[in-house]
Structure 1
């Protein structure tokens, strides 16, 4: 499986995220919406009627969400939309399939690294196993068990790619909310699960940093260098702030709202 298969393709989906997920009126969503209830902005062709205006219309949360291609896979497997058949099974499958596809995204990232050559057989075996799970009834999947098994390989990947680092760069799960880290040397740092909400990382060096699970909401990445950063997702990038000078891994796209 390639990363291209793990990118959301809304044109091949029955708008599942617009129906299956709950919206709570907040800074991220302009309305309350219950799970299983179609968003009022969802058109008959399963496209978003305000896609180009989501942020200005108060639906910033929609611009951050990424299903990692889970929506189109479920839609293909179902064959018919939730308008033509009961959709509850599809709706319940979405969050589970999304997590499985997220694991596949991380495994694909690990396999692309030349430093992980010794791990390639195990990584490929794990990817094949998780991909097989996505072809079955995902309601039966033990996500905790699967995540733990994959995480062992991802930690080994991180160690191989980042190499030995001093303790100052071990910031796993660190509370860095609003931290002033402009131009900081965070290259090859362990930022797994770190809280970087609203942090100032302008011009920071994040090359080969492990960013799996890091919270980058409103993180200022203008001018930052994320070349080779590990396990970066489109959701993280979409939630952050950046500009044309921000260097991103080739696996993610520059968000349209960055200036």
Structure 2
């Protein structure tokens, strides 16, 4: 495994070391994903004094499915313990809390990029890019450790665009090893598409809209799934072995089964076990 400056554990949310930032900083609207409206900066009514969710075990039943598919990629503990040195938003000034809430989404985006860069470093076919990938990963990690004022002023969109160019190169190298003509569905509208048993080996599905699509038994080995919208996508018995840039939030938003084969970078969602 290549040398890395970021550990995989650093890129997974650790609620024990966070001040419930996702439950306060982010807004949500009453919908199929959330039972109520909440503005940014206002604590969710389910957030307890110890920064834990009072209905964590029953979020789906209570109408908060959106919470179950969210992951901060470790940004919560980074902002809580590093950026603000362990100072709670509850005990600091109102300005302190506002700055913390402003910075959290920025660091979350940077940590998501760290997730992709870390995975790109594990792709054997991307070996020619490893030196550049390591350099960009270190630069991105350095950005996450800037001061609150620097983070608030950061053009994270420009940095994301620059990183994406490198990730696309890694994707092209990784997908080139699969035989046949590669399907290019980048940004495609595949909502509700009937793709049962489809051969999507090495396909480019970056940013594709696969909401409620039927991918039962589909072959997605070596597919690029960065940014693909998998909400309610049926992955029953699909093969995602070797699929890359697939995140846990994407998978949590989809439907699957015990027969769904997954890459090692993600875990099987608990709610899949309830499906027959």
Question: Normalization by structure 1: what TM-score?
Answer: 0.97
Range 137-146 or range 4-13, more displaced: 137-146
Question: Are the equivalent residues in 2 in contact too, given 1:184–1:201 (CA < 8 A)?
Answer: yes
User: Which ranges in structure 1 are unaligned for 5 or more consecutive residues?
Assistant: none
RMSD, matched Cα: 1.2
Would you say 1:111 and 2:124 are equivalent positions? no
CA displacement at 1:144 relative to structure 2: 2.0
Question: Are the equivalent residues in 1 in contact too, given 2:182–2:202 (CA < 8 A)?
Answer: no
Question: Are the equivalent residues in 1 in contact too, given 2:11–2:115 (CA < 8 A)?
Answer: yes
CA displacement at 1:7 relative to structure 2: 0.5
Tell me which residue corresponds to 2:256.
242
Question: Are the equivalent residues in 2 in contact too, given 1:29–1:60 (CA < 8 A)?
Answer: yes
Rounded to whole Å, the distance in 1 between the matches of 2:260 and 2:16 is 29
Tell me which residue corresponds to 1:100.
110
User: Which ranges in structure 2 are unaligned for 5 or more consecutive residues?
Assistant: 1-5
CA displacement at 1:177 relative to structure 2: 0.5
Rounded to whole Å, the distance in 2 between the matches of 1:114 and 1:240 is 28
Tell me which residue corresponds to 2:74.
69
CA displacement at 1:258 relative to structure 2: 0.5
CA displacement at 1:168 relative to structure 2: 6.0
CA displacement at 1:140 relative to structure 2: 2.1
Deviations 1:43-81 (A, max 9, x none): 111111110100000000101111110001000021111
Q: How does 1:1-259 map to 2 (within 5 A)?
A: 1-77=6-82, 78=84, 79-86=86-93, 87-136=97-146, 137-163=150-176, 169-259=183-273
Question: Are the equivalent residues in 2 in contact too, given 1:96–1:139 (CA < 8 A)?
Answer: yes
Deviations 1:4-28 (A, max 9, x none): 2101111110000000111211111
Question: Are the equivalent residues in 1 in contact too, given 2:182–2:201 (CA < 8 A)?
Answer: no
Question: Are the equivalent residues in 1 in contact too, given 2:182–2:204 (CA < 8 A)?
Answer: no
Question: Normalization by structure 2: what TM-score?
Answer: 0.91
Helix, strand or coil at the partner of 1:123: helix
Question: Are the equivalent residues in 2 in contact too, given 1:3–1:251 (CA < 8 A)?
Answer: no
